[in-house]
């Protein structure tokens, strides 16, 4: 959003900074480091987490004591039936009431810990999502060149939702399972060390199963979430280019690309879930075998008189309780692997190198600014597009930038806006190196009107006001009149309060351009950049826009990028670029007389018009 504000000129840019090497990827993050770092985001909610742990511990301890209590009830009934005195109903009633109270306590503890962990997990992911959004405001523009919108949306939505879901489900289960495992083991040892030893067979089986299934589960989880990002990118691209797809009958190709991406997600998704859930099912199978062996051996000990029948019943329940957290830990580990895969993707973004801040940078003086490109070298890759490029534009002058496609026209203004950092040389505004200026300060002084319009869902009033958020409605109306936009705005059903749909599809392309021009008027910049600003309007509207542009450029240092040379005849100076360098410079008449590149472009357009 902030980047769009900068492009349209005016307003406060999102985050300052100067990017070092544009979109370098951070080094991959290890699972252990990701888990540790994820828990750091929960530090803010430490009191709630501690309270949840206490409640979980209390509930689990009640769960540990319940089988022993019920085993005592079974022993009372068995001994009462064997004796002549009968069953001690008062003692039995006391045991059953105590058990009922324990079960009620278990229910309340479970309810409270789920409720609290829901709050903790959602607040944690809220913090993460805010961090991701803030980070996207601080990364260099080149980061967006190398990452699809769909993938970034998947990071901010799918990956963070996955973390929230697994935190909520797994963390309380992990706490309960560890406490239940320890408490159950202690009680089991007091009942029968021999049967306890048999139950402990579950532990090495669990470790071995986790060791076998963890690597493939982790690998496929990473592949799944990366594929999900690609799938979102495919969908987003198809929606944005729907008209193009229809126009060229490309539905079959678009559908084939979607199916291929969807198949990859499906394949990696079921494999990730298969390996993740298999750990739990294998442990359940092992648990059932151990349960049968304990029941058989325990029955023999009861017959031999070495174990009370109530204790056998309690031990069988404890063996289930002991096996349950072991199997559950395998399931929890699978869920954690999924959360870690998402966390790693998020942390790679959060560790991406940011644009540098320029704290205490000087302000640019108001008024028309002098702009100097001094021996600038720049390239989007290892091959430089500009090499030792120099250009000087006096304050208040209009300079037109022309040249063939790929000559470096748009790159020039991108460097002036500091969307990209130059590799060598210096760019000065009023004698100040722009790398020493705060980006918001620099961009508040620069207004841009592009060939592609950037409008947002909302009213026309809000879209124009985006160039100067604190502007009054009267200032907005004045800017719209100056841009000759008010005539069509007042014809709309709600005038300035007309709601624009996504991509402003409910108004024409020319009307969208007039709104962006009104935004530039409102921002009142010292430096103005017009990049093919009239290319999407008809001839009649172009005349109106040109008149507005002439007024807008008065007393401002202006850069006009144009392919149609008819729009730049009156420029103070025309700079012809070729392969990132200045090939020719002069007025329209001088360049025509020189009979060079400019004259060739001019005559080719004249022949096309004829």
Rounded Cα distance, 286 and 205, in Å: 8
Q: Are 377 and 425 in contact (CB under 8 A)?
A: yes
User: Average pLDDT over the chain, rounded to whole?
Assistant: 78
Is the per-residue pLDDT at 337 higher than 60?
yes
**Least confident piece of the model among 109-118, 437-446, 522-531, 561-570:** 561-570
**What pLDDT, on a 0 to 100 scale, did the predictor assign at position 30?**
63
**What pLDDT, on a 0 to 100 scale, did the predictor assign at position 426?**
92
Mean pLDDT for 184-211 is: 78
**What pLDDT, on a 0 to 100 scale, did the predictor assign at position 469?**
83
Q: Are 329 and 323 in contact (CB under 8 A)?
A: no
> Domain 25-350 belongs to what topology?
ABC transporter transmembrane region fold (1.20.1560)
Look up residue 96 and give its two tokens. 């059953």
Which residues is 502 bridged to in the sheet?
A: none
Is the per-residue pLDDT at 302 higher than 70?
yes
Q: Are 412 and 577 in contact (CB under 8 A)?
A: yes
pLDDT band at 39 (very low <50, low <70, confident <90, very high): confident
CATH superfamily for domain 356-445+557-610: P-loop containing nucleotide triphosphate hydrolases (3.40.50.300)
Task: Tell me the pLDDT tens digit for each residue of 125-157.
Answer: 888 888 888 888 888 887 887 887 778 888 888
Higher pLDDT, 154 or 328: 154
Buried b (16+ CB within 10 A) or exposed e, 518-545: bbbbbbbbbbbbbbbbbbbbeeebbebb
Q: Are 341 and 225 in contact (CB under 8 A)?
A: yes
Mean pLDDT for 203-219 is: 77
Q: Report CA-CA distances (Å) from 603 to 319, 584, 609.
A: 92, 16, 10
Q: Are 423 and 508 in contact (CB under 8 A)?
A: no
**What pLDDT, on a 0 to 100 scale, did the predictor assign at position 4?**
35
**What pLDDT, on a 0 to 100 scale, did the predictor assign at position 8?**
36
**How many other C-beta atoms can be found within 10 angstroms of the C-beta atom of residue 430?**
18
Task: Give kind and range of the element (H or E) at residue 157.
Answer: none
3-state secondary structure of 390: strand
pLDDT band at 341 (very low <50, low <70, confident <90, very high): confident
pLDDT band at 19 (very low <50, low <70, confident <90, very high): very low
pTM for the whole thing?
A: 0.65
Q: Please name the residues in contact with 533: beta carbons below 8 A apart, sequence gap of 6 or more.
A: 449, 450, 451, 513, 517, 545, 549
Residue by residue, DSSP assigns 308-355 as: -HHHHHHHHHHHHHHHHHHHHHHHHHHHHHHHHHHHHHHHHHHTSPPB
Mean pLDDT for 567-589 is: 84
Report the Cα 107 to chain-centroid distance in Å. 37
Rounded Cα distance, 160 and 346, in Å: 8
**How is the chain split into domains, by residue range?**
25-350, 356-445+557-610
pLDDT band at 18 (very low <50, low <70, confident <90, very high): very low
Mean pLDDT for 532-547 is: 69
DSSP assignment, residue 158? I
Is the per-residue pLDDT at 251 higher than 50?
yes
**Least confident piece of the model among 329-333, 429-433, 475-479:** 329-333
Rounded Cα distance, 540 and 126, in Å: 50
**What pLDDT, on a 0 to 100 scale, did the predictor assign at position 534?**
66
**What pLDDT, on a 0 to 100 scale, did the predictor assign at position 359?**
56
Rounded Cα distance, 118 and 165, in Å: 9
Is the per-residue pLDDT at 607 higher than 70?
no
């Amino acid at each position: 959003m902030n980047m769009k504000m900068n492009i349209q000129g005016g307003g406060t840019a999102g985050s300052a900074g100067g990017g070092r090497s544009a979109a370098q990827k951070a080094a991959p993050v290890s699972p252990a480091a990701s888990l540790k770092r994820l828990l750091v985001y929960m530090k803010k909610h430490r009191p709630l987490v501690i309270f949840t742990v206490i409640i979980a511990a209390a509930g689990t301890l009640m769960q540990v004591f319940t089988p022993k209590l019920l085993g005592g009830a079974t022993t009372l009934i068995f001994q009462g039936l064997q004796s002549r005195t009968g069953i001690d109903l008062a003692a039995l009633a006391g045991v059953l009431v105590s058990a009922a109270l324990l079960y009620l306590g278990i229910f309340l503890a479970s309810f409270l810990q789920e409720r609290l962990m829901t709050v903790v997990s959602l607040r944690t992911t809220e913090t993460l999502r805010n961090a991701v959004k803030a980070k996207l405001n601080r990364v260099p523009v080149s980061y967006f060149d190398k990452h699809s919108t769909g993938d970034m949306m998947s990071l901010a939505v799918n990956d963070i939702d996955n973390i929230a879901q697994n935190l909520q489900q797994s963390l309380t289960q992990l706490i309960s399972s560890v406490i239940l495992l320890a408490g159950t083991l202690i009680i089991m040892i007091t009942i029968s060390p021999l049967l306890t030893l048999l139950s402990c067979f579950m532990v090495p089986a669990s470790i071995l199963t986790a060791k076998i299934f963890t690597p493939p589960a982790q690998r496929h989880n990473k592949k799944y979430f990366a594929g999900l990002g690609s799938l979102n990118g495919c969908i987003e691209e198809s929606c944005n280019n729907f008209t193009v797809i229809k126009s060229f009958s490309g539905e079959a190709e678009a559908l084939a690309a979607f199916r291929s991406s969807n198949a990859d997600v499906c394949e990696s998704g079921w494999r990730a879930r298969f390996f993740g859930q298999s750990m739990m099912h294998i442990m359940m199978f092992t648990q059932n075998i151990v349960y049968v062996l304990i029941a058989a051996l325990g029955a023999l000990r009861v017959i031999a008189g070495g174990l009370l029948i109530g204790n056998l019943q309690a031990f069988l329940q404890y063996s289930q309780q002991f096996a349950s957290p072991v199997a559950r830990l395998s399931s929890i580990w699978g869920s954690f692997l999924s959360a870690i895969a998402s966390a790693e993707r998020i942390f790679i973004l959060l560790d991406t190198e940011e644009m540098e801040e320029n704290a205490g940078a000087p302000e640019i003086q108001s008024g028309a600014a002098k702009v100097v490109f001094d021996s600038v070298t720049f390239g989007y890759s290892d091959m430089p597009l500009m090499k030792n490029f120099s250009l000087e534009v006096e304050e208040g002058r209009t300079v037109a930038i022309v040249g063939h496609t790929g000559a470096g026209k748009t790159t020039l203004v991108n460097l002036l806006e500091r969307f990209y950092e130059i590799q060598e040389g210096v760019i000065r505004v009023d004698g100040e190196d722009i790398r020493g200026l705060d980006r918001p300060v620099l961009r508040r002084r620069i207004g841009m009107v592009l060939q592609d319009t950037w409008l947002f869902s909302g009213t026309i009033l809000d879209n124009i006001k985006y160039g100067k958020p604190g502007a009054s409605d009267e200032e907005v109306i004045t800017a719209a009149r100056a841009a000759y936009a008010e005539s069509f705005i007042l014809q709309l059903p709600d005038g300035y309060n007309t709601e624009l749909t996504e991509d402003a599809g409910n108004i024409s392309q020319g009307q969208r351009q007039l709104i962006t021009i009104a935004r530039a008027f409102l921002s009142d910049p010292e430096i103005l950049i017009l990049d093919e600003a009239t290319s999407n309007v008809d001839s009649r509207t172009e005349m109106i826009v040109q008149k507005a542009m002439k007024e807008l450029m008065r007393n401002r240092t202006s850069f006009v990028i144009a392919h149609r040379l008819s729009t730049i005849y009156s420029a103070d100076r025309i700079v012809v670029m070729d392969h990132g360098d200045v090939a020719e410079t002069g007025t329209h008449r001088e360049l025509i007389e020189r009979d060079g590149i400019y004259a060739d472009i001019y005559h080719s357009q004249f022949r096309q018009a004829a």
